[in-house]
Amino acid sequence: MSFLYERLAKPILFRFDPERIHDLFIWKGSVIGAIPPARWLLAAVYRYRNPALAQTVAGIRFENPVGLAAGFDKDCRLMHVLPSVGFGFEEVGSITAEAYGGNPRPRLVRLPADQSIIVYYGLKNKGANALRQRIIGKRFGIPVGVSVAKTNKRFKSDKEKLDDWVKGITTLKDCGDYLTINLSCPNTYDAANYCDPRLLEKLLFRIDNEKLRFTKPVFLKLTADLTDAQADAIIEACTPRKWVTGFILSNLVKDRASVKLKSPAAKYEKHSGGLSGKVVQPKALRLVKLFREKAGNRFVLIGCGGIFTAEDAYAYLKNGASLVQLVTGMIYRGPGTIKEINKGLVRLLEKDGYTNVADAIGKGNEQ
């Protein structure tokens, strides 16, 4: 299935501006999602079910562990169609307290030699109040997480930043099945990185003082460029806060000097933005392993970065992630990628003698 996409569809799609193709797929997906017979036909082709893939994580039942990462469905338009494509869950957004039209174009640049994309959207979305209405109180066939970030604007003070964070979190905390606080978007006016343990402590302290009373799991999404010392400090700060369920590891790579790109420099040096795809994988996988080793089972980990195959997903699971997310793998290999990953995971589980995906989580760290 992916072979046909890569040989027939991708060469045509990759001739066009990537943002236009992204918008086209969002529109088509929203239309198909509104037509039940179209959803059923899509599911007949792409959906794969196997009880070995089902598990309960943080009190939420997942049909399979493969989710769509935040950043693709920014304005919550694909929730009805994604179950038919085979995803086990979705994360919408990131959503901010105030609407933002996005950074200047171009905001997507493909780097095929690296199986990567430069992403420079800058948290483009319609804002928390508008998008809350699309999610609140609704069910979509798969669990839906809501990613919340700080509005992409210039703030006058740290207090204003924290006020914005709290406003967005408060507006969206009762939407969807879980909440993600995105600490690590690399494409904003504000250079402050809330993965910095000192800044994170200020945010956590403010959330504690607000007494927000989370009723759903809460994840923190961290940068791929995290150091070991920062990881230690983040774990130390979050461990006593029982409302922090876990971490998504990781977001885009901002530090280009830390990765070796195969693409010619002329292809990317004039373009701002974070790197997605295969270049993220070694960093994100290292962080999953590190957090598992440092924190044990205290936190639920979700692996994100460079997942193109079942083997990629399985590596995250074996190193301690309970779930995985992807976007770029689907863009490069097509919508059949999700089915192929899930079928491949069943094969890998059987090969290793596991009856359920939950049995494999963290086993790589124990060997």
**Nearest by Cα to 93 from 61, 39, 59, 132:** 132
pLDDT digits (tens, 9 = 90+) for 106-150: 999 999 999 999 999 999 999 999 999 999 988 899 999 999 999
For residues 143 and 72, what is the distance between their CA atoms, to the nearest angstrom? 16
Task: Answer for the pair 90, 78: CB distance below 8 angstroms, yes or no.
Answer: yes
Percentage of residues in the chain with pLDDT exceeding 70?
A: 98
- Own/partner long-range contacts of 158-161 (Cβ < 8 Å, ≥24 apart): 158/202, 161/190, 161/192
For residues 277 and 258, what is the distance between their CA atoms, to the nearest angstrom? 15
Report residue 220 as tokens.
């923190």
Query: How many other CB atoms are found less than 10 A from the CB of residue 100?
Result: 20
The answer, yes or no, to whether residue 2 has pLDDT greater than 70, is yes
For residues 317 and 5, what is the distance between their CA atoms, to the nearest angstrom? 27
CATH architecture observed for domain 2-366: Alpha-Beta Barrel (3.20)
Q: Which residues contact 63 (CB under 8 A, 6 or more apart)?
A: 49, 53, 54, 88, 142
Burial 67-93 (b: 16+ CB within 10 A, else e): bbbbbbbbbbbbbbbbbbbbbbbbbbb
**Torsions phi, psi for 300 (to 5 deg):** -85, 130
Instruction: Compute the chain's Rg from CA coordinates.
Output: 19
Across the chain, the runs of DSSP E, i.e. the strands, are 55-57, 60-62, 66-68, 89-96, 108-111, 116-119, 144-149, 178-182, 218-222, 246-249, 274-275, 300-304, 323-326
The chain-wide mean pLDDT, for the chain, equals 95
pLDDT digits (tens, 9 = 90+) for 277-333: 999 999 999 999 999 999 999 999 999 999 999 999 999 999 999 999 999 999 999
Assign 3-state DSSP to the chain and report helix, strand, coil percentages, each to 5: 45, 15, 40
Q: What is the band of 193 on the pLDDT scale with cuts at 50, 70, 90?
A: confident
Task: Answer for the pair 82, 67: CB distance below 8 angstroms, yes or no.
Answer: no
Q: What is the pTM of this model?
A: 0.96
Domain locations in the chain? 2-366
The DSSP secondary-structure symbol of 15 reads T
Task: Answer for the pair 365, 292: CB distance below 8 angstroms, yes or no.
Answer: yes
The answer, yes or no, to whether residue 365 has pLDDT greater than 80, is no
Give the angle 151-153-154 at the CA atoms, nearest 5°. 135
CA–chain centroid gap for 213, Å, is: 24
Query: How many other CB atoms are found less than 10 A from the CB of residue 35?
Result: 13
For residues 233 and 364, what is the distance between their CA atoms, to the nearest angstrom? 24
For residues 362 and 356, what is the distance between their CA atoms, to the nearest angstrom? 13
Write the DSSP assignment of 264-332 as a string of letters.
-HHHHTT--SEE-GGGGHHHHHHHHHHHHHHHTTSSEEEEES---SHHHHHHHHHTT-SEEEESHHHHH
| pLDDT value of residue 195 | 92
pLDDT digits (tens, 9 = 90+) for 41-68: 999 999 999 999 999 999 999 999 999 9
| pLDDT value of residue 323 | 98
